[in-house]
Amino acid sequence: MRGLKIWALVCAGLMTSAWASPSPENNASPTMSPPEASSPAAPIKSPLPNIRHNGFVYCVNGVIDSFNPQIASGGVLVDTIAAQLYDRLLDVDPYTYRLIPELAERWEILNDGSTYRFHLRKNVPFQTTEWFTPTRTMNADDVVFSFSRIFNQEAPYHEVNGGHYPYFDSMQFSDTVKSIKKLDNYTVEIQLTKPDASFLWHLATHYAPVLSAEYAKNLTQIGMQELIDRQPVGTGPFLLNEYRPGQFLRLNRHQLYWRGVPKMQQVVIDLGAGGTGRLSKLLTGECDVLAYPAASQLSILRDDPRLRISLRTGMNVAYLAFNTGKPPLNDLRVRQAIALSINNPRLMQSIYYGTAETAASILPRTSWAYDNDSQITEYNIDKARLLLQEAGIKDLRLHLWVPTASQAYNPSPLKMAELIQADLARIGIKVTIVPVEGRFQEARLSDEDHDLTLAGWTTDSNDPDSFLRPLLSCAAINSQTNYARWCNDEFDRLLSQGVMSQDLSARMETYQQAQKILERELPVLPLASSLRIQAYRHDIKGLVLSPLGNVSFAGVYRENPEAEPK
């Protein structure tokens, strides 16, 4: 067998660049072999001019730890790449926020929401890559494999690459899913231990891709199961062709994509587009699309006739998490003092430039469960000092952990951290900023030694459970998505109650009670809910900006690529 090259060569730093000369469409054989040696990589070349005719460059700052969103806790894989490589059973309409079919043509809700039956789409091909060539189209075996891996701790692949599925672990779905059954080749039934009105929404997130059971079987036969998360095979519009860690990855179109051949032959995702260099790359044409431009750059972007800007209300929130399990942050008065000392209007002006609103709840205002009575934390230095005095706190020193990459909910996290650092200094708290990235942040959080974490959340689900449970449930502590390490039995009870009914008004009342607890206990301080912003070259068409997360690039194309406005 031959293949198995990309991840092995990545680890050795040996993958060659081909920005200026795209590889042909992939029609490799189904065979595999152990990784082969290669010569050192050539210097990176400019992606232009060839890519201007048959593809585009999407620039985003981020770190990739795997190519399987099942085992990710967010980041560029979930926000950008997942929709290109994989499909899910269900999708969410970016305009109506309703569930719509994807790999499941239709579905049924049975037994008051404790049983879900999915009728699958036929003739959906998997991708042919250098490491795998499928012999059949997608069927029920693939769906059963994909979700059994997550929910069934006895499944052969459950423990592969660590056995952690942060999003679903935080939902306690291993305890919630009773069985996953294949009724026939194109019908799958999932039974839950109890009704859960949020279940379909979780399956519509990009954390729930459908993988190839046949590919998994082939990997098992050669004893290399770990490659399922490193060398991806999905049914999505693009397949992985090339990857340079920290620099870029190239996606080639999936010629047999079930929705029709993508319009672009290739997409290059530039992973090194950070800081001011992002704007420069867009202005010089090295980037065709810039994800999450700094709000301070909007005036420059608007004034350039070669560029266009899209803005949409986003399902996201930026927040400050307190490690409530560590003194003195386990004292509510200390958390309140910190909250009162943060000058949120200045954050809105200096970070978002009018592209966000101050968050009063961990749920964004666009959520149907948002509590309109939620109060924004006031800015009151004198009251903050008094609370610290009551708590007996003097000369407090804290470490603030901050992700370095810009995100949909926070375009400038390090700058925001510096502003918070200055605010806390005014009440006598000295803050040391600790920049962290990707899985490094998760690993450090697991040692329970952090004080404050500047974080955020965005999801492609409109269900409030997909915000509240992964961020603040007791189970989310172990899945390392609950940065506050806060566990409240009453809050968890409300989360369980909130998914038991299909009645929207009853669920809304439950979630508003949950928000009251958060407002009272303050395990996290909501900071901002921002607009999603995307800047792109004038000739890029068909690029949809979704408030719920990433969308497929299959419909993106260039119009008159040689015409350049003056």
CATH of the domain at 112: 3.90.76.10
Please tell me whether residues 331 and 460 are part of one structural domain.
yes
Q: Are residues 353 and 486 in the same domain?
A: yes
Cα–Cα distance, 306 to 493 (Å, whole number): 53
46 assigned to some structural domain = no
- Give the per-residue pLDDT at 373: 92
Q: Going residue by residue through the chain, which has 566 residues, state the pLDDT in tens, using 9 for 90 and above.
A: 434 444 444 443 333 333 333 344 443 333 333 333 232 333 344 444 478 789 999 999 888 989 999 999 878 898 899 999 999 999 988 778 789 999 999 999 999 899 999 999 999 999 999 999 999 999 999 999 999 999 999 999 999 999 999 889 888 788 889 999 999 999 999 999 999 999 999 999 999 999 999 999 999 999 999 999 999 999 999 999 999 998 999 999 999 999 999 999 999 999 975 555 778 899 999 999 998 888 888 889 999 999 999 888 888 999 999 999 999 999 999 999 999 999 999 999 999 988 999 999 999 988 899 999 999 999 999 999 999 999 999 999 999 999 988 888 998 999 999 999 999 999 999 999 999 875 545 555 555 578 999 999 988 778 899 899 999 999 899 878 899 999 999 999 999 999 998 888 999 999 999 999 999 999 999 999 998 889 999 999 999 887 776 789 999 999 875 555 55
Same domain, 184 and 321: no
Asked if residue 50 belongs to a domain, the reply is no
The pLDDT of residue 48 is 47
Instruction: Assess if residue 180 is contained within a domain.
Output: yes
Residue that finishes a domain, picked among 195, 211, 234 = 234
Q: What is the CATH number of the domain that holds 354?
A: 3.10.105.10
Residues facing 119 on adjacent strands: 106, 187
Same-domain check for residues 361 and 468: yes
Domain ranges, residue 179: 6-12+64-234
Model pLDDT, residue 35: 33
Task: Count structural domains, the chain.
Answer: 2
Q: Is 505 exposed, middle or buried (0-12, 13-18, 19+ CB in 10 A)?
A: exposed
Q: What is the rounded CA–CA span in Å between residue 213 and residue 145? A: 6
Last residue of a domain, one of 234, 259, 280: 234
pTM of the complete model: 0.79
| Of the residues 234, 262, 292, the one at which a domain ends | 234
238's enclosing H/E stretch is strand 238-244
Of residues 275, 388, 297, the one with CA closest to residue 338 = 388
Q: Which of 211, 378, 312 is nearest to 531 (CA)?
A: 312
Is residue 508 exposed (0-12), middle (13-18) or buried (19+ Cβ within 10 Å)?
A: middle
Whether the CB-CB separation of 129 and 231 falls below 8 Å is answered with: yes
DSSP secondary structure of 265-280: SEEEEETB--TTHHHH
Domain identity same for 213 and 321: no
Q: Considering Cα of 146, then 149, then 155, then 157, what sign does the dihedral take?
A: positive
Indicate if 102 and 211 belong to the same structural domain.
yes
Is residue 431 domain-resident?
Answer: yes
Structure tokens at 89: 């059973």
